[in-house]
């Protein structure tokens, strides 16, 4: 039987992944200007795949066009956060309602395992990873690949820019608040219970309420970050 070799990623995919990882790891900081020639030299490839990767990252919201400056690494501002969370609320609510109709017993068990894992750690970094697992499992339980794809793009923007902008700079996430993990856990339990019982309306409302709660906490974190930065600047003067 002839074996099929795994497809090698294209240069555009390589460039996209490398740049995306650099944003996630904080190597490319918010508002940093990205020049095609410099990126191509760094990645040791021509400008064409780099240009395609930059265009894709711009469409996804990780980069932002700047007049006379090409593109820069995007930074989350209050307006962007509000827009992203508005989309997340609509998508999460829809996913939870669909999951209440379509979820399998195995998927319910997987969701319950994830929310159980939330009680076993106090590490903000681990809780953030578990939170991402929960929301991914929620979308998979909805059995709608287009919904999953849309949510993944928004989630990536929030997660990657949060890593670069807030966790790296201020060592904080929305789950750093001592009260937030417990609140988020209770909200997750309510969502899963409604899904397990097949209550579409309650599942949707629980998911929407959870996103609204996370949005309020995100704005609080942003406000604290700005306050700390302002105080640090004042100290240096």
| Residue pLDDT tens, the chain, 237 long | 555 456 788 999 999 999 998 987 778 888 889 999 999 999 999 999 999 999 999 998 889 998 777 899 988 788 888 999 999 999 999 999 999 999 999 999 999 999 999 999 888 878 888 998 999 999 999 999 999 989 988 887 877 666 554 444 444 455 556 778 899 999 999 999 999 999 999 999 999 999 999 999 888 877 877 776 677 666 555
- Integer Cα distance of 10 and 49 in angstroms: 8
Cross-strand partners of 177: none
Query: What's the confidence (pLDDT) of residue 206?
Result: 99
Query: What's the confidence (pLDDT) of residue 234?
Result: 62
Pick the CATH number of 78-236 from 1.10.10.10, 1.20.120.530, 3.30.420.310, 3.40.50.300: 1.20.120.530
167, two tokens? 């966790």
Contact call for residues 43 and 4 (beta carbons, < 8 A): no
- Integer Cα distance of 48 and 40 in angstroms: 9
* CB half-sphere exposure, 173, CA atoms < 13 A: 20
Q: Which of 181, 103, 101 is CA-nearest to residue 138? A: 103
Tokens 């930059």 belong to residue: 54
- Integer Cα distance of 162 and 214 in angstroms: 13
Query: What's the confidence (pLDDT) of residue 161?
Result: 64
17, two tokens? 């992944």
pTM: 0.76
61-74 per-position pLDDT tens digit: 889 998 777 899 98
CB burial readout 110-148, b (16+ within 10 A) else e: bbeebbeebeeeeebeebbebbebbbebbbbbbbbeebb
Query: What's the confidence (pLDDT) of residue 195?
Result: 99
Second-level CATH architecture of 11-73: Orthogonal Bundle (1.10)
* Alpha carbon separation from 63 to 19, 58, 77, 81, 111 (Å, rounded): 10, 4, 13, 15, 33
Our CA angle for 56, 59, 64, nearest 5°, is: 105
The residue extents of the domains of the chain are: 11-73, 78-236
Tokens 């379509």 belong to residue: 102
């Amino acid at each position: 039987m002839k074996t099929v070799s795994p497809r090698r990623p294209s240069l555009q995919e390589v460039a996209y992944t490398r740049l995306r990882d650099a944003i996630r790891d904080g190597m490319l900081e918010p508002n940093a200007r990205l020049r095609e020639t410099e990126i191509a030299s760094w990645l040791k490839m021509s400008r064409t795949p780099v240009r395609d990767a930059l265009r894709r990252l711009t469409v996804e919201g990780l980069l932002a066009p700047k007049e006379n400056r090409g593109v820069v690494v995007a930074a989350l501002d209050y307006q962007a956060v509000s827009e992203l969370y508005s989309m997340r609320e609509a998508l999460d609510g829809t996913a939870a309602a669909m999951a209440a109709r379509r979820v399998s017993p195995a998927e319910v068990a997987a969701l319950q395992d994830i929310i159980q894992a939330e009680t076993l750690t106090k590490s903000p970094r681990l809780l953030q990873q578990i939170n991402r697992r929960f929301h991914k499992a929620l979308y998979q339980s909805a059995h709608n690949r287009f919904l999953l794809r849309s949510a993944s793009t928004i989630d990536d923007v929030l997660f990657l820019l949060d890593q670069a902008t807030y966790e790296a700079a201020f060592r904080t996430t929305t789950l750093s608040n001592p009260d937030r993990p417990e609140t988020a856990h209770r909200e997750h339990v309510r969502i899963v219970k409604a899904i397990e019982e097949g209550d579409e309306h309650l599942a949707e409302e629980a998911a929407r309420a959870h996103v609204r709660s996370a949005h309020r906490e995100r704005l609080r974190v942003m406000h604290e970050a700005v306050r700390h930065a302002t105080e640090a600047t004042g100290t240096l003067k």
